[in-house]
């Protein structure tokens, strides 16, 4: 089954106890967001390398499993790889290499490297801080950070109903196969898939209505009460202080290096 595949196993189940796990989810989300904004603004390659190192260290602290994490990071890299390969050849500037009729520029190479480092520093940090959260904990923390309730509900419902939708799709597909459906390149196949998607949409909409009815029956009036009451503690203060120091160091280095360059 797909669920048992290492790729699909959520990190929060693989990651063990760690100093990161002891932190309040809110601290982790805010830290990840601040980190992303800071890293995006860096330009110096040395500073960006230091940022990747910091992210790696945090991932280590979060006890992220090496292989599963690497797979996820590589998947993200797969998305940007085309851009990175093309950038040196499309950015005008000082030529450094020629492949056939194409010339790579130093500026383009710098840009591509910077983007690759930024992306990895941010994704690693996200995986370490936010990826290790159970989806419900993430939802609740977002709600406490005053993210609009509808967005939080959307996240929580997605977590709950993705499996139901997958099962429904599987059932419909099995039913199609049971009547000897084999996909081919023809109108019949297209129409059948159209019906499948349409039927899924209709069923999802109807189920949404029934779920809302069931929630109303249990007194739901638009606000989602929560069971857990996490508190910001000493650990969070320490983590915030350490994070702030690291960030200030990186920003200082960036300002100094970019100005001298």
Applying CB under 8 A, the residues found at the interface with other proteins are: 134-136, 156-157, 159-161, 163-164, 207, 210-211, 213-221, 225-229
Contacting residues for 30 by C-beta, under 8 A, at least 6 apart: 145
**Are 230 and 133 in contact, with CB atoms under 8 Å apart?**
no
Q: At what angle do helices 234-260 and 25-41 cross, to 10 degrees?
A: 0
For the bound state, the minimum distance from the C-beta of residue 105 to other proteins, rounded and expressed in Å, comes to 50
Structure token pair of residue 99 = 């492949």
Given phi > 0 = left and psi -120 to 50 = alpha, else beta, which region is 109? alpha
For the bound state, the minimum distance from the C-beta of residue 191 to other proteins, rounded and expressed in Å, comes to 27
Closer to other proteins by CB, 108 or 139: give it: 139
Closer to other proteins by CB, 45 or 214: give it: 214
Length of the chain: 261
For the bound state, the minimum distance from the C-beta of residue 9 to other proteins, rounded and expressed in Å, comes to 13
Closer to other proteins by CB, 8 or 160: give it: 160
Contacting residues for 31 by C-beta, under 8 A, at least 6 apart: 129, 239, 240, 243
Closer to other proteins by CB, 40 or 215: give it: 215
For the bound state, the minimum distance from the C-beta of residue 228 to other proteins, rounded and expressed in Å, comes to 7
**Are 26 and 230 in contact, with CB atoms under 8 Å apart?**
yes
Closer to other proteins by CB, 193 or 213: give it: 213
Closer to other proteins by CB, 173 or 213: give it: 213
For the bound state, the minimum distance from the C-beta of residue 162 to other proteins, rounded and expressed in Å, comes to 9
DSSP secondary structure, 77-126, as one string: HHHHHHHHHHHHHHS-S-EEEEETTEEEEHHHHHHHHHHHHHHHHHHHHH
Alpha-carbon gap, residue 55 to 61, rounded angstroms: 10
Alpha-carbon gap, residue 191 to 119, rounded angstroms: 40
Closer to other proteins by CB, 89 or 161: give it: 161
């Amino acid at each position: 089954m797909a669920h048992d595949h290492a790729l699909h196993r959520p990190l929060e189940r693989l990651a063990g106890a760690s100093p990161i796990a002891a932190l309040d989810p809110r601290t982790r989300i805010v830290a990840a967001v601040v980190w992303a904004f800071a890293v995006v603004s860096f330009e110096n390659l040395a500073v960006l390398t230091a940022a990747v190192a910091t992210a790696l260290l945090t991932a280590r602290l979060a006890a992220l499993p090496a292989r599963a994490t690497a797979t996820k990071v590589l998947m993200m890299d797969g998305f940007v790889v085309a851009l990175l390969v093309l950038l040196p050849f499309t950015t005008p500037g000082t030529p450094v290499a020629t492949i056939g009729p194409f010339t790579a520029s130093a500026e383009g190479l710098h840009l591509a490297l910077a983007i690759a480092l930024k992306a990895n520093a941010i994704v690693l940090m996200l995986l370490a801080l936010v990826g290790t959260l159970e989806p419900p904990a993430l939802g609740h923390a977002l709600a406490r950070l005053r993210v609009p309730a509808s967005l939080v509900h959307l996240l929580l419902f997605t977590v709950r109903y993705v499996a139901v939708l997958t099962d429904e799709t599987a059932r419909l597909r099995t039913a199609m196969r049971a009547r000897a459906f084999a996909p081919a390149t023809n109108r019949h196949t297209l129409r059948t898939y159209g019906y499948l998607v349409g039927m899924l949409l209709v069923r999802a909409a109807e189920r949404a209505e029934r779920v809302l009815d069931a929630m109303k029956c249990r007194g739901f009036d638009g606000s989602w009460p929560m069971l857990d009451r996490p508190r910001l503690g000493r650990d969070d203060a320490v983590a915030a202080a350490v994070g702030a120091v690291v960030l200030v160091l990186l920003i200082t280095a960036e300002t100094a290096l970019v100005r001298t360059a």
